[in-house]
C-alpha cells in the first residue's frame, strides 16, 4: 500500500497545461497524483472508459500514449473529439466570426421557447440557439474530417461558456433567480455570471485552440461514444476506469451526469432535443437519461464484469471512500483477475459537492491491478 499524500507532494505540478473544467468530479487537480502513480507503468495504449471532462485522457496523451477516450454522453464525446482525437485542427478567426453571426432569419428558437426563465435570460437563450445553428452550418464550410473537429471545438467552447454562467456549474434546478437576484452572496462568481456569452465563448475558443496538439506521428488517438459494457475492442495496455459514484454517506444519491448536464446533452442532440425531453420534469431533463452506469444493486456485478472484460490490461480504477462497493470489496473483485493490486490513497474534497462526507472521511483512491 502506498501513501497517496506522499505521491502528491512529490508531484505538486506538471509542466503541461491542461484544459480548465467545471465538471463535477473532474480529476484535473488530481492529475499530478495520478501521474506519479502511473508514470512508471509499462503501457503504450490506453482506454479512458468513462472519459468525462477528458483531463485524464489529455494527461495520457501528453505522456505520449495512444489514447482512446470513451463516454456514453454525446456532449462528452464532443469534448473527447476536440481534445483527444483532434491533433491539429483549430478554430480560425474567420470561423469564430462565422459562429457569432446573427443570421436571425435562419435561426431556430427551440431553447428560447422551451427553457424560458429556467437557466438563462431570454437574450442568452436566443444567443445559444443562434450559435448552435451556426455550429451545425460549419458542415457547409468544410469537408467531413475538418468539419468534425471544428464542430467539436465550437461545442467545447459553448459547453464551457454555459457551465460558468450556471450556479454550481450544473443544471439540477430551475434557479436562474440565483444569478439575477440583487442580494449579498456567499458563493458563485457574479462577475462571470454577468459576462456576455460572446465574451466567454471567445475566451474558451482561445483556450481550446491552445490545447490542441499532436503527440506523435505514430500515435493514433480516438474518441468514441459507446456503452462501457459494449466496447468491442478490449486490446489496450491500460484501462482507466472512473465511473459515477455512489456514496455510503448518501446511499440513495449517485452522480447522475445525464441529469446534472442534461442541457448540454440536449445541445449536442439539438435537432432531436424536442423528442428527448421529459416534459413532466420541472427541470426538463431527458427521458430515460442515464450515464451508462448501473443501479446501486448491480454495482458489484458490473465492476466484476468490467474487470473480467479487461483482464489482459493493466487496470487503474479511480474511486472514493466511503463508496458503494467498499474499497475492500473492489480490491477483492480486482484481485480475482490481477495478481498484484496496489492502492494509493489521498484525502480530498470536491468543491461544492454534497457527497464529500464528514471532514477527514473522504478519501480519493487509485487501485492499480497488474
* Average pLDDT value for residue range 330-359: 79
C-alpha cell at 81: 473529439
- For residue 350, what pLDDT band results from cuts at 50, 70 and 90? low
Enumerate domains of the chain plus CATH numbers: 1-73+221-249+291-370 (3.40.50.150), 88-212+256-289 (no CATH)
Better-predicted residue by pLDDT, 351 or 323:
323
Give the pLDDT of residue 7.
41
∠ CA 110-116-117, nearest 5°, is 155
pLDDT at residue 259, as a whole number: 87
At 13 the pLDDT is 66
Taking residues 328-339, what's their average pLDDT? 97
Collapsed DSSP state (helix, strand, coil) of residue 220: coil
pLDDT average, residue stretch 203-218: 94
Of 32-41, 294-303, 314-323, where does the model show the most confidence?
A: 32-41
The three cell numbers locating residue 27: 480529476
Exposed, middle or buried: residue 199 (CB in 10 Å: 0-12, 13-18, 19+)? exposed
Tell me the average pLDDT across 257-263. Answer: 91
Question: pLDDT tens-digit profile of 49-83?
Answer: 999 999 999 999 999 999 999 999 999 999 999 99
Task: DSSP letter for 246, please.
Answer: B
Q: Is the pLDDT of residue 351 over 60?
A: no
What is the per-residue pLDDT across 111-163, written as a single tens digit (0 to 9) for each? 999 999 999 999 999 999 999 999 999 999 998 889 999 999 999 999 999 99
Give the bridge partners for 247, in sequence order: 323
Question: For residue 348, what pLDDT is reported?
Answer: 77
* Residue 246 confidence (pLDDT): 78
Q: Average pLDDT, stretch 347-351?
A: 68
Read off the pTM.
0.91
Q: Output the CA angle 156-129-53, nearest 5 degrees.
A: 20
Amino acid at each position: 500500500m502506498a501513501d497517496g499524500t506522499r505521491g502528491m507532494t512529490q508531484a505538486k505540478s506538471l509542466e503541461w497545461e491542461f484544459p480548465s473544467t467545471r465538471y463535477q468530479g473532474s480529476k484535473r487537480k488530481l492529475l499530478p497524483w495520478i501521474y506519479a502513480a502511473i508514470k512508471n507503468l509499462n503501457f503504450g495504449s490506453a482506454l479512458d472508459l468513462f472519459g468525462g471532462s477528458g483531463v485524464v485522457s489529455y494527461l495520457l496523451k501528453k505522456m505520449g500514449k495512444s489514447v482512446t477516450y470513451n463516454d456514453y454522453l454525446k456532449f462528452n464525446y464532443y469534448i473527447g473529439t476536440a481534445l483527444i482525437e483532434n491533433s491539429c485542427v483549430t478554430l480560425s478567426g474567420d470561423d469564430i466570426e462565422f459562429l457569432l453571426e446573427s443570421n436571425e432569419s435562419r435561426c431556430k428558437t427551440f431553447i428560447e421557447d422551451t427553457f424560458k426563465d429556467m437557466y438563462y435570460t431570454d437574450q442568452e437563450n436566443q444567443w445559444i440557439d443562434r450559435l448552435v445553428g451556426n455550429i451545425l452550418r460549419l458542415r457547409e464550410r468544410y469537408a467531413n474530417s475538418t468539419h468534425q473537429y471544428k464542430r467539436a471545438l465550437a461545442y467545447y467552447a459553448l459547453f464551457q461558456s454555459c457551465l460558468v454562467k450556471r450556479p454550481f456549474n450544473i443544471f439540477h434546478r430551475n434557479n436562474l433567480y440565483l444569478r439575477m437576484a440583487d442580494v449579498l452572496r456567499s458563493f458563485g462568481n457574479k462577475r462571470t455570471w454577468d459576462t456576455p456569452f460572446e465574451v466567454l465563448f471567445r475566451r474558451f475558443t482561445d483556450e481550446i485552440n491552445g490545447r490542441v496538439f499532436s503527440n506523435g506521428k505514430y500515435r493514433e488517438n480516438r474518441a468514441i461514444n459507446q456503452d462501457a459494457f459494449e466496447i468491442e475492442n478490449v486490446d489496450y495496455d491500460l484501462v482507466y476506469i472512473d465511473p459515477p459514484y455512489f456514496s455510503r454517506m448518501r446511499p440513495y444519491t449517485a452522480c447522475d451526469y445525464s441529469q446534472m448536464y442534461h442541457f448540454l446533452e440536449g445541445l449536442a442532440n439539438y435537432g432531436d432535443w424536442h423528442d428527448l425531453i421529459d416534459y413532466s420534469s420541472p427541470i426538463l431533463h431527458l427521458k430515460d437519461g442515464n450515464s451508462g452506469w448501473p443501479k446501486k444493486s448491480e454495482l458489484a456485478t458490473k465492476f466484476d464484469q468490467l474487470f473480467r472484460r479487461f483482464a489482459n490490461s493493466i487496470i487503474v480504477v479511480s474511486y472514493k471512500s466511503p463508496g458503494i462497493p467498499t474499497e475492500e470489496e473492489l480490491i477483492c473483485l480486482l484481485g480475482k483477475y490481477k495478481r498484484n493490486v496496489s492502492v494509493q490513497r489521498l484525502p480530498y474534497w470536491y468543491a461544492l459537492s454534497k457527497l464529500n462526507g464528514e471532514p477527514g472521511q473522504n478519501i480519493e483512491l487509485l487501485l492499480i491491478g497488474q
